[in-house]
Amino acid sequence: MRIGKITENALKRSVLKQIKTEFKGKTSAAVGTDCAFSDEKKTFVTICPLTVSLKEAGFYSVVKAVNGIVSQGLRAEQISLSILLPKDADEPVIKKIVADAIEAAKKCGVVYSGGHTEVTTAVTRPVVTATCIGVMREDEAAKALLTGKPKAGQELVITKWVALEGTAMLAAEKFSELTGKYPVPFIDNAREFKDYLDVAQEMEIAMKTGVSACHDLSNGGVFAGLWEFGSRAGTGLKVDLKKIPLRQETVEICEFFEINPYQLLSGGALLMATDNGEKLVSALEEEGIPAAIIGTLEEGKDRILINGDETRFLDLPQADEIHKVLG
């Protein structure tokens, strides 16, 4: 099997089919849904493993897990970590992972509740898995978002910029290589993109403004997110590639490593469906959050990308480009 997320078909055949059979009537996992499973206490869980070689694995794993809860209109409450370390790992490695995780938990306003740490021959580098527990909110806007479904005719809005997460990781991990070509302040700025990853503020604005569905863009980048959103809606879509927001730092770093920014980790950006894209964008920008209307959901099943005079179909989600650089 390929590196990264398993294919959508494999996910449906070997994972989701079994879950839906065993847990009928529950809010369970689905393509394009960032958290799953509700019990009588209205508790939801999302699990985010981080397997790439990364010095700040604790920070990123926590933010990714929290965003998976928050992006569905839920309130994130606590986070726990499972840390698997190779036998040659030193104690400072553990200390940094936990310190970074606590930093992220504080930033996201959740309680760090501990977890499990183990040294094992099963891994050759640290593998950090964050589990975030959230609960249903009582306000009607949050309830509507949780049960809502995107539909044909709605506009697609993206917050901030895509590939922020992957850009920040690459800038930090490959700092020496990148500063051999680009000015140090330019790459420093890219490293600080991790400060944009928390999505709580834009979710509050989105729910007040009115959105029918939201997807936390992450693995596989915006292209994977668009495909998953279309699958969730059961519709096609039409997107203008030139309207998808990118930072210049992302463009330059992706060119340096010869990778596609539209298939790069995009945590920190939300993809939302709404009846009034201009209203949503205006509300976000009033609070200093950049946003853009990038296209629409369409009747049928065609998922179309427009790039100037060129029109093509969106491909099935591919392995995230981060694996080409960080393994």
Burial class of residue 181 (count of CB atoms within 10 Å of its CB; 0-12, 13-18, 19+): exposed
At 274-287, the pLDDT tens digits run 999 999 999 999 99
Q: Is residue 193 part of a domain?
A: yes
Residues 78 and 182 in one domain: no
Burial class of residue 309 (count of CB atoms within 10 Å of its CB; 0-12, 13-18, 19+): exposed
pLDDT for 81:
87
Lowest-pLDDT choice from 6-15, 23-32, 40-49: 23-32
Residues 197 and 277 in one domain: yes
DSSP-based three-state secondary structure for 317 = coil
Q: What is the mean pLDDT of residues 80-109?
A: 89
Residues 300 and 176 in one domain: yes
Q: Is residue 10 part of a domain?
A: no
Closest CA to 64 of 119, 96, 108, 95: 108
Q: Is residue 20 part of a domain?
A: no
Residues 122 and 216 in one domain: no
pLDDT for 19:
42
Domain boundary pick from 110, 138, 166? 138
pLDDT for 75:
93
Residues 223 and 90 in one domain: no
pLDDT for 20:
54
Q: Is residue 121 part of a domain?
A: yes
At 221-260, the pLDDT tens digits run 999 999 999 998 899 999 999 999 999 999 999 999 999 9
Query: Cα separation of 273 and 152, whole Å?
Result: 10
Domain boundary pick from 138, 161, 187? 138
Q: Rounded mean pLDDT of the chain?
A: 88
Q: What is the mean pLDDT of residues 182-207?
A: 96
- The β-bridge partners of 43 are 135
- With a pLDDT cut of 90, the percent of the chain lying above it is 64
At 293-324, the pLDDT tens digits run 999 999 999 999 999 999 999 999 999 999 99
The residue ranking higher by pLDDT, 114 or 289, is: 289
**CATH number, domain with residue 156:** 3.90.650.10
Greatest mean pLDDT among 32-41, 123-132, 165-174 = 165-174
pLDDT for 4:
43
**CATH number, domain with residue 80:** 3.30.1330.10
34 to 48, 113, 136, 174, 277: CA distances (angstroms): 10, 21, 14, 29, 22
Query: Cα separation of 276 and 156, whole Å?
Result: 9
30, pLDDT greater than 60: no
Q: Is residue 16 part of a domain?
A: no
Closest CA to 132 of 36, 39, 196, 211: 36
DSSP state of 259: -
Residues 89 and 111 in one domain: yes
First and final C-alpha spacing in the chain: 15
Pairing of strands 270-274, 291-298: unpaired
Residues 167 and 237 in one domain: yes
pLDDT band at 165 (very low <50, low <70, confident <90, very high): very high
Whole-angstrom Cα Rg for the chain = 19
Query: Cα separation of 149 and 3, whole Å?
Result: 30
pLDDT band at 12 (very low <50, low <70, confident <90, very high): low
Q: What is the mean pLDDT of residues 115-137?
A: 90
pLDDT for 1:
44
Torsion of CA 130, 80, 162, 307, to 10 degrees: 40
Residues 262 and 181 in one domain: yes
Residues 228 and 306 in one domain: yes
How is residue 61 written in tokens? Answer: 């794993």
pLDDT band at 289 (very low <50, low <70, confident <90, very high): very high
pLDDT for 22:
43
pLDDT band at 6 (very low <50, low <70, confident <90, very high): very low
pLDDT for 7:
58
Domain boundary pick from 138, 169, 188? 138
Q: Is residue 72 part of a domain?
A: yes
Residues 310 and 262 in one domain: yes
pLDDT for 103:
92
Residues 132 and 159 in one domain: no
pLDDT for 9:
63
Domain of residue 100, residue span: 31-138
Cβ atoms of 9 and 324 closer than 8 Å: no
Q: How many domains does the chain have?
A: 2
Q: Is residue 211 part of a domain?
A: yes
Residues 239 and 310 in one domain: yes
pLDDT for 24:
53
15, pLDDT greater than 50: no
Task: Give CA 315 to chain center in angstroms.
Answer: 19
Q: Is residue 1 part of a domain?
A: no
